[in-house]
Structure 1
Amino acid sequence: MNLILWGIVLFGIYVPQSVSQMVDCFSSFTLSRGKCSGLLGQVQKDKCCLNTNYGYQEADGICKSCGRPTWSEWSSWGECTVSCREGVTQRRRSCYGIGDCADPENLGTLQTKPCVKRPCCPVEGGWSEWGNWQLCSVTCGDGMKKRTRTCSEPIPECGGSCSGAAEEATNCSTEIICPTHGGWSSWGRWGPCPVTCLKEGRNPEKEVRTRTCTNPLPSVVPRGNNCEGSNTDTRPCSGLPFCPDDGNWGAWTGSTPCSVTCGVGQQTQRRKCDSPKPAHGGRQCRGEDQKTGVCVVDVPCPVNGIWSEWEEWSKCKQPSTKTIRCANREGTRRRLRDCIERKHDGAHCEGEIVQHSNCYDINNCPMQGVLTEWSEWSYCKPDCGQDSEQTRERVCVADISKYRFQDRSLFTGFAIINCTNLENDIERKPCHNVPECNNKE
């Protein structure tokens, strides 16, 4: 099968490209929103991703990151699924980058927990009977009168209300004729200026607009008042140009250097509206005063190192010959990590490569058991469907109350724990109003 080739012109240089490999290349990828910004142009995907801070967009229109696989922050918790009593709220995160994100704690992409926007649901109220009609709003001619009612039979509860209006209005007439006073109509449009070009050193001509006393006309019987003020208005003509001299573009300058030292950037050319400059109100040059094109520096960009996960702790021991196993005597241990994935002179990892810690060796030591406090309630699992529930637990663990430090992470090995009459326990409670499962997800 023949591969169809096409190309782009970069400031007069034709560069052939492969259709199947072309992507829209962006100078920035925002991890928090999963969005690309700063469009550079169309280049090959591998050229765009010479810089791991860049993003690209293929034909599917979805923005993707050139960087290593990284989890976004958890989104804000969403709206509660119900407006009153107990429901659930959810939040999500996404994996961006080339490859799959590690998930050692199996947190997934969705979390669900209970929520209560309002502990009770609204109860609607009922209207009282309408009150008496009030007096007409005018003393002559036609007006309005109104009457009111209250939302009190019964009174609404928990934020409820009555459906409908608390006030009702209707027309009323005094059967007395009122005088009609004159009112000005809106000003008409300004008339044309008598000249189209202002001569330097002279006062500008004036333009005129008019109005009429017809909004409304004054009545004759009974006699209404005429309009006050003048029916004409003038102002100096404004914005009149001198004799115009339109501007024209000069030649394009040479291209600027590529904006980057590695990967994909842009070059710029500029021109000035000075051949000639516009004068006396002449028109500015039409079009843009600069143009940009994509450029490629075929050098991989630096990739900063990241720390690997910590290795397992070393064996808990003491420099002296004293035995510390089962002896309530402190030892020491250490663990290491590596600075990995650093490429192309990227920055080294900040921090220590080795970590030291005190420890206690309780491996195969007989110890009395105690029950832990109840754990915090878990998130709702599964995240959809009627079987979703929360759990918490308490378990039998070794009693370490006689030790100086009681941080369980300092204890190494597996003790032989006496849990007689101490049973592990778990509690469950259902989550309410959880969204139905979508089989397509």
Structure 2
Amino acid sequence: MLLFIITGVLLCSQQSASQLVSCYFEFQEQTGKCSQFLSANVEQSDCCLNPAYGFIDKAGKCQSCRAAQWSAWSSWSSCTVSCLEGVMQRRRACYGIGECDGKESLQTKPCIELECCPVEGGWSEWSPWQPCSVTCENGVMMRRRSCSNPPAFCGGGCEGNSTETIACYTNTICPTHGSWSSWGLWGFCSSSCKKEGSQELPIKHRTRACSSPPPSYNPPGRNCLGPREEAKECPELPFCPEDGSWGSWSFSGVCSVTCGLGLREEMRECNNPAPRHGGRPCSGKNTQHQICNTHLHCPIDGQWSEWSEWSECARHGRKIQCKSHAGMQRRTRACKDREYDGRYCDGDIVQNQACYNVKRCKYGKGNWAEWSPWGFCHPPCGSKAEKIRSKVCNATYPTDYPTLVGLNKDEPVSFWGTPLQMCEDEDKETKNIDQKEPCHNVPDCDDYRET
């Protein structure tokens, strides 16, 4: 394959309508940022020959070269309040060329960190002062109090300290005898290298102080015994170094990619001369890159669409509603956005299942389920946000239909459609009951737009 090498600014023999951008090897979906810089002033169409690349446009925003897709949801934020009811939020972003579908980019759900809010307590009276902590010279006395007047509630506390200390003096001086501190670290050698052929070696020293503790003056304490300083030769120092210098540049390979934009590498060696005896290596990099363009678009793999709704349950084109005859139904999905010999989607494009059609059939009274957990807050920001939970009237399905095996050996024939149900204490046919309540402590929508 013939690869075209471009150095410096890309030059085009013909004018192109594609804008010039800064091209990057990677678009980071978690942060929405471009990383691993490739080149500036590249045609956007050339950069996006590889859908994994990213680019920064004139507005300074990082964009992905792929077709538009939603990012993964972020982690849930902390609760907006530390006690009673608040909300947690999470977000996702649409990255890529084009527009994502109309699904929401912000989700909000209720949360309760504590069922009650902390209540501060009050301090008791101080206890009497304890005796001085020493029998000679200076010490401290302490007194205490407790957070019990009244006690704190729900994790609250009292502001301030539970203990208090003051200095005390015994009017008696204690004699103090001197003691050596630990030896200090060895100092630097008098030279960092030895001269080749010399018999004299550099010297290093260390010291200690009579300060652990120092002897008292009145009453007098004993001084420390022994030397204050030690010296020794530095062992086996290296020969004095010779710094290295770079050799000439040379090409070392072909273009790093087989599609889109890549890099071609040049190398040089630190051998003119090479560093000796611990001398400094050459400063700078031993490789540099020139941009190369294959002029080939990289494959774009297919992505599954959402499954369609199941088709109506029927038997050889005939209606079997409310009958004990098993039928079949199907649903489909599409492999979208595949281009340039990208991989086909793995899996089936069609699913079939055996079924009974019970749509709007009457099989007796249903049974109320328990209340569901509270759902997300809608809208996800602002003072009008509400949460909803539901109580569902579970359907009563027939028990006298034949027990058959579906298309998969472990999967029974499914019931399709919703029967007409009435649950106890209801005067009309109903599927579920919804309950709404306001969400509390929800951030303003202006705060959301600013982020």
Query: Smaller-chain TM-score range?
Result: 0.7 to 0.9
Give how far 1:347 is off.
Answer: 0.9
- Which residue type is aligned with residue 92 of structure 1? R
Distance 1:323 1:127, change over 3 A: closer
- Which residue type is aligned with residue 381 of structure 1? H
2:300 paired residue number: 303
Aligned with 2:224 (options 224, 227, 231): 227
Give how far 1:254 is off.
Answer: 1.1
Aligned residues: 427
CA distance in 2, matches of 1:415, 1:357: 19
CA distance in 1, matches of 2:149, 2:159: 13
Distance 1:349 1:393, change over 3 A: same
2:444 paired residue number: 436
2:271 paired residue number: 274
Give how far 1:13 is off.
Answer: 6.8
- Which residue type is aligned with residue 123 of structure 2? W
1:16 equivalent to 2:22? Answer: no
Q: 1:365-404 alignment to 2 at 5 Å? A: 367=362, 373=369, 376-393=373-390, 400-401=397-398, 404=401
Give how far 1:330 is off.
Answer: 1.2
1:422 paired residue number: 428
CA distance in 1, matches of 2:52, 2:109: 34
**Contact in 2 for aligned 1:28/1:54 (Cα 8 Å):** yes
2:50 paired residue number: 51
1:283 paired residue number: 280
CA distance in 2, matches of 1:217, 1:398: 90
2:234 paired residue number: 237
**Contact in 1 for aligned 2:6/2:291 (Cα 8 Å):** no
Give how far 1:79 is off.
Answer: 0.9
CA distance in 2, matches of 1:335, 1:194: 83
2:151 paired residue number: 155
1:122 paired residue number: 118
Give how far 1:205 is off.
Answer: 3.3
**Contact in 2 for aligned 1:369/1:396 (Cα 8 Å):** no
- Which residue type is aligned with residue 342 of structure 1? R
Distance 1:324 1:219, change over 3 A: closer
**Contact in 1 for aligned 2:358/2:415 (Cα 8 Å):** no
CA RMSD of aligned residues (A): 3.7
Q: 1:344-355 alignment to 2 at 5 Å? A: 344-355=340-351
Unaligned runs of 5+ in 1: 1-9
1:41 equivalent to 2:39? Answer: yes
2:416 paired residue number: 411
1:145 paired residue number: 141
Q: Secondary structure at the match of 1:15?
A: coil
CA distance in 2, matches of 1:375, 1:169: 57
1:206 paired residue number: 203
Give how far 1:191 is off.
Answer: 7.4
CA distance in 2, matches of 1:195, 1:398: 88
Deviations 1:37-84 (A, max 9, x none): 322222222211111111222344433211122112222211111111
**Contact in 2 for aligned 1:302/1:346 (Cα 8 Å):** yes
Distance 1:25 1:282, change over 3 A: same
Deviations 1:278-323 (A, max 9, x none): 223333222221122332221100011223344555554434x986
Distance 1:158 1:193, change over 3 A: same
**Contact in 2 for aligned 1:191/1:209 (Cα 8 Å):** no
Deviations 1:252-288 (A, max 9, x none): 1215211111112222211111111122333322222
- Which residue type is aligned with residue 422 of structure 1? K
1:3 paired residue number: none
Q: Secondary structure at the match of 1:145?
A: strand
CA distance in 1, matches of 2:168, 2:447: 64
Distance 1:217 1:417, change over 3 A: closer
Give how far 1:340 is off.
Answer: 3.0
Deviations 1:140-189 (A, max 9, x none): 22222222212221221111111111111111111112224335588599
1:252 paired residue number: 249
Distance 1:418 1:114, change over 3 A: closer
**Contact in 1 for aligned 2:383/2:442 (Cα 8 Å):** yes
Deviations 1:192-246 (A, max 9, x none): 7279633358462323355554787634442211123311121323685424433
Deviations 1:310-346 (A, max 9, x none): 4555554434x98634423111233433333221111
Distance 1:120 1:216, change over 3 A: same
Give how far 1:415 is off.
Answer: 7.9
Q: Greater shift after overlay, 114-123 or 300-309? A: 300-309
Distance 1:228 1:289, change over 3 A: farther
CA distance in 1, matches of 2:107, 2:437: 17
CA distance in 1, matches of 2:110, 2:292: 52
2:160 paired residue number: 164
1:66 paired residue number: 65
**Contact in 1 for aligned 2:87/2:111 (Cα 8 Å):** yes
1:7 paired residue number: none
